[in-house]
Chain A
Amino acid sequence: MAFKIIVSQCTQCGACEFECPSDAISFKGEGYVVDSKKCTECKGEFDTQQCASVCPMPKTCVPA
């Protein structure tokens, strides 16, 4: 269970990296990626997935 980032829509604002409670998002090569091993879908921490809720682009941080 993890989220992923649709790279083509990402503005590379970095807000998701900043908000992710699991330290699962980082900048790799061309863009931001979610480490599926670390992503917890924010369970136990927040009601909503933080990456999806800060992302300025609709439908860019989505379930993998």
Chain B
Amino acid sequence: MSEPEIKVGTSSSASFHRAPMAPAMPGGRASSSYGLSVTDDIDARIWERIKDHPCFSEQAHHYFARMHVAVAPACNIQCNYCNRKYDCTNESRPGVASVKLTPDQAVRKVLAVASKVPELSVVGVAGPGDACYDWRKTVATFEGVAREIPDIRLCISTNGLALPDHVDELADMNVDHVTITINMVDPEVGAKIYPWILHGHRRYTGIEGARILHERQMLGLEMLTKRGILTKINSVMIPGVNDTHLVEVNRWIRDRGAFMHNVVPLISKPSHGTYYGLTGQRCPEPFELKALQDCLDGNVKLMRHCQQCRADAIGLLGDDREREFALDQISTRVKFDTRKREAYRKLVQHERGDQLAAKLDANKAVRSLGSSGTLAVAVATKGGGRINEHFGQARELQVYAVSRKGINLVGHRKVEQYCLGGLGEKATLDHTIVALDGIDILLSSKIGDCPKKRLAETGVRASDAFSYSYIETAIGALYAAEFGGKPAMPTALGPSN
């Protein structure tokens, strides 16, 4: 019998039958240096808890997938940026789900997905309403999933209002990751975001409602921290409403033990039918978001790779496979195949050690140059920490900043797929060029001569010379070539390119 074929990303060297590797870490203290290298100063115990969670660990998002089950449509507050009524399958934003599931349907769907997507490590309830308010459905779903796949991680996302009522049960169910959306700590600001809340069978509006929400959010966060549950705080950045105020929010959540802060830009179009959409509230520009993130950096760990997924998203972040798993295609009796899953986990363990070692080396080399030069590098990747996607097929590019502080992921940019059909290629490329503003170098597994030339004219050097290398290794080599006096790999960005 042959082993199921498993790959990490599409990396060529990551085939399943590979020789056992040497220990990844010098000195053999693998686990503690894992913690340090990946997440700077997070200790090894925490690393154990986040290493398979694509949202809580940036490194994990190269390897692991999450799935949201849309079982909780009811909500106890109204946010001005939310409307659960409209769904377009091309839309990617929280609150959107094509089909609502009953807990039974959700469990079946999880099994179908887990059989086909070995990367699946997290199942979350993230709406389209509120997981803590529509609690019975959340619990029924979690119980079913945990019974069928005991090693899967459970995760919820909530507005926090009903959270304090359920913290004990969350702890009992081993829900180790909770996301709370906190957009304000000042009820005056809150009143501009939340027209009403429902609490204790009564509706409250304006400042009174926002104050109750704020108090419940802080209480919920403190209770989670006390129980050692990891919390991620999502904040929606709304220009002119809470953008500057989020600095204050960041301070409050840090003081209450939040693990991570994820500032996401408001998504608002008139067609979404939200209050903000209809009143023409503008969304933040990428540079505004980045400026805010930069000024928050260093307090609580900042998340830079969030995709603002749909409430029914499936797959690796940035590669949604929701449409492959329509419920009517899922038979009532799903046979759960664990083989792929186990094989994948084994492979990741190896591959990941390699990637970490490569990342550590590259970072060390960059720091040791002590150069004051900086580079902004965009990378097309399908995961596995490698440069393994064709420029023409990339739907997003990851952006790394390199300086004497090392090589750091600072965000991602959406681009249109250049290769989709002949028509409109030029327009697409124009769009991509705008998206690449400020980028010095673009790395992909393959890029045509024509786009490469066009990009060069706008000052972006594109190369496929590092195809299938580890991202950090390639970036480190380029940086050294640029600022260290030593030549990079021979085929790299020579003038003839």
Contact = CB atoms under 8 A, between A and B. Distances in A.
A54 B74 contact: yes
Contacts of A53: 198, 201-203
Nearest to B77: A56
Given A13-B74, A13-B129, A19 B84 contact: no
Contact of A50 (B78, B84, B100, B201): B201
A7 B10 CA distance: 48
Contacts of A46: 201-202
A15 B202 contact: no
A56 B75 CA distance: 8
A54 B73 CA distance: 12
The residue in A13, A19, A47, A48 that gathers the most chain B C-beta atoms within 10 A of its C-beta is A13
B49 interface: no
A12 interface: yes
User: SS class of chain B's interface: helix, strand, loop or mixed?
Assistant: loop
Contacts, number: 45
Given A14-B74, A14-B134, A54 B84 contact: no
A56 B203 contact: no
A36 interface: no
Nearest to B136: A18
B198 A54 contact: yes
Contacts of A11: 83-85
A18 B132 CA distance: 13
A14 B198 contact: no
Contacts of B444: none
Interface in B124-165: 128-129, 133-134
A30 B203 CA distance: 28
B202 A47 contact: yes
Interface string B56-85: 000000000000000001111010000111
Contacts of A50: 201
B67 to A, nearest CB: 21
B201 A19 contact: yes
A11 B129 CA distance: 11
User: SS class of chain A's interface: helix, strand, loop or mixed?
Assistant: loop
The residue in B74, B76, B83, B129 that gathers the most chain A C-beta atoms within 10 A of its C-beta is B74
A36 B461 CA distance: 69
A47 B83 CA distance: 27
B74 A18 contact: yes
A18 B134 contact: yes
Interface in B273-287: none
A35 B146 CA distance: 36
A18 B78 CA distance: 17
Nearest to B200: A46
Interface in A45-60: 46-48, 50, 53-54, 56-57
B73 A14 contact: yes
A4 B129 CA distance: 22
B200 to A, nearest CB: 10
Nearest to A47: B202
A13 B75 contact: yes
A15 to B, nearest CB: 4
Nearest to B84: A11
The residue in B75, B201, B202 that gathers the most chain A C-beta atoms within 10 A of its C-beta is B201
Given A53-B198, A56-B84, 15 more contacts: A11-B83, A12-B100, A13-B73, A13-B74, A13-B129, A14-B73, A14-B100, A14-B129, A15-B74, A15-B75, A15-B76, A15-B133, A19-B198, A48-B203, A53-B201
Interface of A: 11-15, 18-19, 46-48, 50, 53-54, 56-57
14 contacts: A12-B73, A13-B75, A13-B84, A14-B100, A15-B76, A19-B198, A19-B201, A46-B202, A53-B202, A54-B76, A54-B203, A56-B75, A56-B78, A57-B85
